Amino acid sequence: MKKEYSSVPPSMENMETYGFSWMDFVTAIPSPLFVVTTYKPDGTPNACLQSWATFTGNKDGFFAILSAVYKQGHLYQTLKDTGVCVLNFPSQDIYDRCVATIRNNQWEADEIAASGLTAEPATTVNAPRIQECFLALECEYVWEKDLAEGSDHTLLCLKVRNICMDEAHTDEQTQGRYGEQGYLYNVHYPVNPETYAGKARDSIAVLQKLRDMGEY
C-alpha cells in the first residue's frame, strides 16, 4: 500500500527542520557531500561543507547546481565577491576534518588549516583547493535564482573549468570513485512520517555500483 503526503504528517508537526522543508525528511533523497572553498577579502581560505547539489553537462560545458546556499553565509559572500570557488570531494577518512569547517567559521580564521586540512592553490581559478580531497572541481559563478520569492537561500549555477583528481581514483579497477573510499552522500534525516518521535539523525553513505545498465 502506498501513502500520500501533501501536508505535514501529525507526527512531524513539532519537528525541528532547521529551515528545510518537512518533505526533505520524508523523501530523504541522498546528495553528494563536498567542501566549497573560496578566499575571503584578506586572502584567508574559507571552507563550507555543502550538499544538496547536482551535476550535469552538455555541449556548453559541465555545470554544478548548488540548490540551497544561505545568502548570509561566508560561502555566498565570498563567491559573489570573487566569482570563483572549488568543490572538494572527501573520502570517509577525512570526513571528520571536513565537518570541523562548520565550527571553524570565523571571518579571521583560515578555515582549512584550522580543521586540520591543507590548502593548495587551484590551477585555473583564484581559490584554494583542499589537498587531502580526492577530487576538486574548479568553478566559476554563472547565475543564481532564489528558491522562492524573498527566500534567504538561493540556487547557484557554477561552470566547471578544471578537474583535479587523484590518479588512484581514476581507475575503477583499482580504487575508483565509489565504495568505501569514494564519494560520500548526505542522507538527510530518513523519517517515518507515521511514527516520528524526535530520534532521526542525518547519516553519511557511500555508493556501491549494482550492475551495468545494459543496452538502451
Give the domain CATH number at 65. Answer: 2.30.110.10
For residue 107, tell me if it sits in a domain: yes
For residue 16, tell me if it sits in a domain: no
Q: Look up the domain containing 122 and give its range.
A: 33-183
Residues 6 or more apart whose Cβ sits within 8 Å of residue 94: 117, 132, 133
- CA nearest 130: which of 49, 57, 32, 23? 49
Q: pLDDT tens, 9-55?
A: 999 999 998 888 999 999 999 999 999 999 999 999 999 999 999 99
For residue 164, tell me if it sits in a domain: yes
Reported pTM: 0.94
- pLDDT of res. 214: 85
Given pLDDT bands bounded at 50, 70 and 90, which one contains residue 127? very high
Q: How many separate domains does the chain show?
A: 1
